[in-house]
Amino acid sequence: MIDYGKIVSPVVSALPPSGIRKFFDIAAEMKDAISLGVGEPDFTTPWSIREAGIYSLEKGQTHYTANSGLIELREAICDYNDRKFGVKYDAKTEVLVTVGGSEAIDLMIRTVVNPGDEVLIPEPCFVCYKPLTIMAGGVPVPIETKEEDDFRLLPSQLKEKITDKTKLLILPYPNNPTGGVMSKADMEAIAEVLRGTDIMVLSDEIYGELRYSEEGHVPFSKIDGMRERTVVVNGFSKAFAMTGWRLGYALGPAELISLMRKIHQYGIMSAPTTAQYAAIEALKSCDDDVEEMRQEYNYRRRYIVDGFRAMGLSCFEPLGAFYVFPCIKSTGMTSEKFCEKLLEEEHVAVVPGSAFGESGEGFIRCSYAYSIENIQEALKRIEKFVQRHTRK
């Protein structure tokens, strides 16, 4: 019999197995659990997008596309980014269509990270950057962002962590799990630290359209001098409610994009064709749908923040994505304990902040990609739970 432990890659074996898998499994099996635990929109993909996908199938568009993605889609991506955010990219050489934003993140890390290179990762953050860095032979260097700084990355924190091995900075804003954002001024300050260095930037802007302050989203590549060192990752999952279609893209300097395309070409070939046709429709005629969903998230955002504050938890006001990140330290429990007990006693599923890095300890991530009724019921149960467990 084969001893798999002996033959498999030690790097893969040693990857964190998403520590809270067990907790997720219990939640998944609980039939009457009410959840604020999901990292994707509750909206179904707008009908006109779905219809465009169906139409492409009817027309028999069932073949591979160019490795980089359909040129019509790449052109639409460039038009969209110019129109919405005022950044210009060349459709032929500076865009790569990927299988979700996640693939683009992986490609960028693998393209620039050499064994031993350090990758700076502001935490709390989405869970993929660290393992992908490790698989590329890099060394993840977490930077702890704080609630009192609105979970922004401060230039002083960045400076402190830069060494001569620093290769890449991840900028995960608007942020999952905190909902924190970086304003243009915040990014200018970061850019100031980077100028004159060769440090590259992976700006994960998958939640870019979901901003709730007057100042809209500004891609990091738009900041003076940052374009040449930045790969912007975006996609269709969040803004267009297209998670299941698995479609994202990377925007960046031609030379980097062409190297990323090499990995993509051998590992993936091309992103799903149906999804690509649907995405053209999304970019060309769904501005109103996106705005309507954003508006709806904004109502829920205010509602849920208000709810957490009313029950006496400190809750930082998130200005992006669709998460709130209330602090549960007043209960004296760890995040994980809190979530386990909440699930057990009140049948509400939320995610421990510690799943997103050590600095997430003491917080829980609650998604508001749910109907107001669902949020209301969940808040009611959480309030009961918090009252029962808060140290007097």
Partner 1 sequence: MTICARLSKKRRKVLIFMDEILKILDKEKGNISRAKIAQMLGTDKQEVADAIEKLEKDNVIVGYKTIVNWDKTDREVVTALIELRITPQRGEGFDKVAERIYKYPQVKSLYLMSGAYDLAVTIEGKTMKEVALFVAQKLAPMDSVISTATHFVLKKYKEEGIVFEDDEKDTRQVITL
Residues that bind partner 1 (CB under 8 A): 18, 24, 27-28, 30, 33, 35, 37-40, 42, 44, 126-127, 176, 295, 299-300, 302-303, 306-307, 349, 351, 355-356, 372, 376
- The token pair at 332 is 């004296």
Residue 258 or 334: the one with the smaller Cβ distance to partner 1 is: 334
Residue 66 or 127: the one with the smaller Cβ distance to partner 1 is: 127
Q: Smallest distance, Å, CB 325 to partner 1?
A: 13
Q: Smallest distance, Å, CB 372 to partner 1?
A: 7
Q: Smallest distance, Å, CB 236 to partner 1?
A: 17
Please tell me the distance from the alpha carbon of residue 260 to that of residue 254, in angstroms, as a whole number: 10
Q: Smallest distance, Å, CB 243 to partner 1?
A: 9
Contact 222, 256 (CB under 8 A): no
Please tell me the distance from the alpha carbon of residue 372 to that of residue 307, in angstroms, as a whole number: 11
Residue 211 or 261: the one with the smaller Cβ distance to partner 1 is: 211
* Cα–Cα nearest to 136, from 162, 155, 109: 109
Q: Smallest distance, Å, CB 238 to partner 1?
A: 12
* Bridge-based pairing state of the strands 248-251 and 95-98: antiparallel
Contact 195, 229 (CB under 8 A): no
- The token pair at 169 is 């900075």
Please tell me the distance from the alpha carbon of residue 190 to that of residue 137, in angstroms, as a whole number: 26
CA dihedral (306, 311, 312, 314) positive or negative: negative
Contact 351, 365 (CB under 8 A): yes
Q: Smallest distance, Å, CB 230 to partner 1?
A: 25
SS3 368: coil
Please tell me the distance from the alpha carbon of residue 349 to that of residue 72, in angstroms, as a whole number: 41
Q: Smallest distance, Å, CB 318 to partner 1?
A: 13
Residue 26 or 139: the one with the smaller Cβ distance to partner 1 is: 26
Residue 39 or 53: the one with the smaller Cβ distance to partner 1 is: 39
Please tell me the distance from the alpha carbon of residue 194 to that of residue 159, in angstroms, as a whole number: 9
Residue 138 or 360: the one with the smaller Cβ distance to partner 1 is: 360
Residue 19 or 137: the one with the smaller Cβ distance to partner 1 is: 19
